Amino acid sequence: MLHTIKKIGVLTSGGDAPGMNAAIRSVVRTCAFHDIKCYGIYRGYEGMIDGDFVEMDARSVKGIINKGGTILKSARSKEFRTKEGRQVAYDQLKKAGIDAFVVIGGDGSFTGAMVFNQEFDFPVMGIPGTIDNDIFGTTHTLGYDTALNTVVEVIDKIRDTASSHNRLFFIEVMGRDVGHIALNVGVGAGAEEILIPEEDLGLDRLLESLRRSKASGKSSSIVVVAEGDKIGKSVFELKDYVEENMSEYEVRVSVLGHMQRGGSPSCFDRVLASRMGVKAVESLLIGKSNYMVGIKNDMMDLTPFDQAVKGKSKINMELLRVSDIMTV
């Protein structure tokens, strides 16, 4: 392979997600495979500005493929949003002889990388790591599959108590802008209703649907609510509203929160991370820059950063219909 890049940096930035460690491992080992030096950059762009780098070899990433979180730590950096901050980051990279980097993070991290690339003509590549799956240019982001499995397992447990006490549960899951998690776990865990940011079910239809499910002989119900659902009410307000209008139900609320971001990555996320790390490094080595690595139709794919950050990831509307049919 022809290339002039000799040292590649790798960082994790923004919110953490399961699979980030597997991606770090893959970047480090792909560098080792191609005889390129690899540097871990701690604490995202914050650590880049501070010059917080450590050389990593193939053995330094042993035993992390199954670990959640990120061994390199993650951070949000206000300073990197300024030209002066990015200049310091550039000087630090140059001082260490790092001539390209791979950033594992969300669209904010990619915007930062894109701006940096434009200012300093510095080779950059991105790997999407976020449980929300809200990035255009890939059908799966790292951590999303793990989060689905984590949430489905929890809902199964909540269902045990819901059915023992004839209760209705509103379960809030992550997803401020897109309903991928809510929609998929809703179908996967057999929820009666799924409330997502993309569709306004409306309070009347929600009550109607719950009444129908009660009339069909169901003694307990699960409603999955994405954080950013269109009805615009918090899960607690929904609980109050349903209790006022359906005294036959005892309603409980469960907000799953940060536990959705933790845990050991699923096999799918480990494999995806391994493939994305290889693609990111090998793309840099053949002179590509300013792209996000993604997966489409089970193939690795590159999307220019500007498209990845501007585009909107779309939910699969077919799942809404499947959910309606399943709750007949």
Which residues of the chain form contacts with ligand ATP (CB under 6 A)?
13-15, 45, 76-77, 80-81, 105-109, 111-112, 115, 130
Binding site annotation covers 310?
A: no
**Closest CB to ligand ATP among 129 and 282?**
129
- For residue 295, which phi and psi values (nearest 5 degrees)? -125, 130
Say how far apart CA 105 and CA 13 lie, in whole Å: 5
- In angstroms, the Cα distances linking 228 to 60, 179, 239, 258 are 40, 8, 16, 16
Q: Both tokens of residue 215?
A: 């009339």
Instruction: Note whether 57 and 10 are within 8 A (CB).
Output: no
User: Considering the complex, what minimum distance in angstroms separates the CB of residue 14 from ligand ATP?
Assistant: 2
User: Considering the complex, what minimum distance in angstroms separates the CB of residue 112 from ligand ATP?
Assistant: 3
Binding site annotation covers 40?
A: no
**Closest CB to ligand ATP among 62 and 83?**
83
Task: DSSP letter for 65, please.
Answer: T
Say how far apart CA 44 and CA 63 lie, in whole Å: 22
User: Considering the complex, what minimum distance in angstroms separates the CB of residue 22 from ligand ATP?
Assistant: 17
Of residues 132, 134, 145, 269, which has the active-site annotation?
A: 132
User: Residue 203 carries which side chain, given as an amino acid letter?
Assistant: L
Q: Both tokens of residue 130?
A: 């976020």
Listing DSSP states for 253-298 in one string gives EEE-GGGGG-SPPPHHHHHHHHHHHHHHHHHHHTT--SEEEEEETT
Both ends of the chain: CA-CA distance in Å? 57
Q: Both tokens of residue 31?
A: 């560098």
Please confirm, yes or no, whether 229 is among the known catalytic residues. no
User: Residue 279 carries which side chain, given as an amino acid letter?
Assistant: K
Residue partners of 191: CB distance under 8 A and separation at least 6: 155, 171, 185, 222, 223, 224, 323, 327
User: Considering the complex, what minimum distance in angstroms separates the CB of residue 313 from ligand ATP?
Assistant: 12
Binding site annotation covers 275?
A: no
**Closest CB to ligand ATP among 3 and 310?**
310
**Closest CB to ligand ATP among 9 and 15?**
15
Binding site annotation covers 86?
A: no
**Closest CB to ligand ATP among 111 and 245?**
111
Binding site annotation covers 228?
A: no
C-beta nearest to ligand ATP: residue: 108
Binding site annotation covers 212?
A: no
Binding site annotation covers 59?
A: no
User: Considering the complex, what minimum distance in angstroms separates the CB of residue 41 from ligand ATP?
Assistant: 12
Q: Both tokens of residue 206?
A: 């929600």
User: Considering the complex, what minimum distance in angstroms separates the CB of residue 303 from ligand ATP?
Assistant: 15
> What ranges in 82-218 are assigned the alpha helix state H?
83-96, 107-120, 144-164, 180-188, 203-215
Residue 320 exposure: Cα atoms within 13 Å on the Cβ side: 13
Instruction: Note whether 107 and 45 are within 8 A (CB).
Output: no
Binding site annotation covers 190?
A: yes
**Closest CB to ligand ATP among 43 and 167?**
43
Instruction: Note whether 148 and 155 are within 8 A (CB).
Output: no
Binding-site sequence positions for ATP: 15, 76-77, 106-109
Binding-site sequence positions for ADP: 25-29, 159, 190-192, 218-220
| Residues designated as active site | 132
Binding-site sequence positions for substrate: 130-132, 167, 174-176, 227, 252, 258-261
